[in-house]
Amino acid sequence: MELAPIVLFVYNRPEHTRACLEYLERNELAAESELYVFADGAKSGSEEAVAAVRRVIAEPWKFKRLNVVERPENKGLAANVIAGVTSVLETHDRVIVLEDDLIVSPYFLRFMNEALEVYKDTEEVCHVTCHMLDHKGELPDTFLIRWCNSWGWGTWSRAWQYFESDGRKSLREIERRDLCRQFDLDGGFHFTQMLRDQIEGRNNSWFIRWYASLFLRDKLMLGTGRSLVDNAGFDGSGTHCNTMQLCTQTLSMNPIAVVPISPVKENLLARKVYSRTYRYNYSYRHKLKVFIGNLWIRVFNRKKR
């Protein structure tokens, strides 16, 4: 099996970067894998944190080969991801992508590499992930869905060619074809508004443009019913127990087998679960519950001092 290079994007969080690398290193395929690290340059005031991150990645990590690109200027996450993925796919036909706030199961690399190998010639499948939010309802170990997930993902050079950086062009086509509700996961989340915000400069998301690029071509993502990835980036300090989160995921410590799905079409149950999960996680009721919970945590922590 050909092993995909791993691409890691880091910036100014040394503790998160260390945790990400430590969890990744525990994978059985880590020592056989090539790792590219793209370290973004500092904004004013973040120089020391950026320097600390670069000291972390300079340590002797146990990967087959470590390639580090230290940006002299701050490109921002979107530009860094787009440029980094594009450059690696110029010399490889597949890639696994991580950001510094992700920690992974020991079976992450095994799953991602098997999935990228099994579906390498399946034109309809353009994106692979093994991150899954906590949800209600049973899902199969793997499924196909007309969506994509940015928290630990993989793709091929044959698919990345579809990336359209002009969000305005994609939005016009979504609106022309009256696809806004479908693009929003059947009303589960305001992805259309997220794309509008990217166009207007209120966010600089690469993800929403990648999702739109694949959505408009009816491409599919291979997803999993359990999560082999956990996003530790919502904690504010690097310690999960200090905050409640809108979106939670449970890191699975069991492998997930990659079995070719036939026929190659969207799993409508998975779509319903995703839509329902997003709708609940971002509902006013749930946001209020999380806000009150975090308020109580802060009060309790002050009393302990």
User: What is the pLDDT, as a whole number, of residue 137?
Assistant: 79
Proportion of the chain above pLDDT 70, given as a percent: 92
Proportion of the chain above pLDDT 90, given as a percent: 82
Neighbour-count burial of 218, counting CB atoms closer than 10 A to its CB (0-12 exposed, 13-18 middle, 19+ buried):
exposed
- Determine the CATH number of domain 1-100: 3.90.550.10
Q: Is the pLDDT of residue 34 over 60?
A: yes
Give the predicted TM-score (pTM) of the model.
0.92
Domain ranges of the chain: 1-100, 103-162+217-305
CA separation, residue 265 to residues 116, 129, 213, 218, 225 (Å): 17, 17, 18, 10, 17
Give per-residue pLDDT as tens, 180-201: 999 999 999 999 999 999 999 9
Q: Mean pLDDT over residues 66-76, rounded?
A: 97
pLDDT band at 244 (very low <50, low <70, confident <90, very high): low
Q: Is the pLDDT of residue 238 over 50?
A: no
The DSSP-derived string for the chain is: -PPPPEEEEE-S-HHHHHHHHHHHHTSTTGGGSEEEEEEPPPPTT-HHHHHHHHHHHTS---SSEEEEEE-SS---HHHHHHHHHHHHTTT-SEEEEEETTEEE-TTHHHHHHHHHHHTTT-TTEEEEE------SS---SEEEES----SSEEEEHHHHTT----HHHHHHHHHHTT-HHHHTTTTTS-HHHHHHHHHTTS---SHHHHHHHHHTTT-EEEEESSBSEEE-TTSSSS-GGG---SS---B--S-------SS----HHHHHHHHHHHHHHTSHHHHHHHHHHHHHHHHHHHHH-
Mean pLDDT computed over every residue of the chain? 92
